[in-house]
Amino acid sequence: MRFWTWLKVLVIGILLSATGIYVILTSDLFQKKYIYPFLYQEAVYTYALERDIDPFLVAGVIRAESKFISEARSPKGALGLMQIMPETGRWIAEQTNHKDFMTADLTDPDINIRFGTWYLASLKKEFAGNEVLILAAYNGGRGNVKQWMQRYGWTKEFDDIQQIPFQETRDYVEKVLHNKKRYKELYGRNL
């Protein structure tokens, strides 16, 4: 009899512990602190809104690209929060009249977010605001997206992420759009 009583207590304890852990892990407070932090909010809101970009999309890109680590460096050499390649950074600096650009500037959160939102805005204009195409171009290159549009007959209304030929780009677009949704759910009340 003691064994069954002890087993019931153990099972109930495990269930209560699991429930408690689930509640903590799914709480907004835990999610904001550990899963979806939103550092550099002021810069994100300032530059995103200035360029008519959804700040939650920018936060989603940053989370996917660098997890908000300003010194992040990809194996291919992309730098900073929004993982901008040095050549792209130089081009953006020229386009925006940013004087005395140095590659190391891309690890400065303010400059990186300013450049990254400018680049997203240029993609938004080019792809008529279609977030799937914008994100595919941000990850896979605007030239590739233009080729896919021509080759597969995609229009500016394209939304079938599963048709994107590069697995990495498909996964990236899905991840960023999921991140955007979570940031909007967690921080949308702040706007």
Q: How far apart are CA 35 and CA 132, in angstroms?
A: 23
The distance from CA 172 to its chain's CA centroid, rounded to whole angstroms, is 9
Name the catalytic one among 65, 87, 94, 185.
65
Q: What is the 3-state secondary structure (H, E, C) of 155-177?
A: CCCCCCHHHCCCHHHHHHHHHHH
Given a contact cutoff of 8 angstroms between Cβ atoms, the answer to whether 84 and 119 are in contact is yes
Say whether 65 is catalytic: yes
Name every residue whose Cβ is closer than 8 Å to that of residue 181 and which is 6 or more positions away in sequence.
56, 60
The distance from CA 117 to its chain's CA centroid, rounded to whole angstroms, is 12
Q: Which residues form the catalytic set?
A: 65
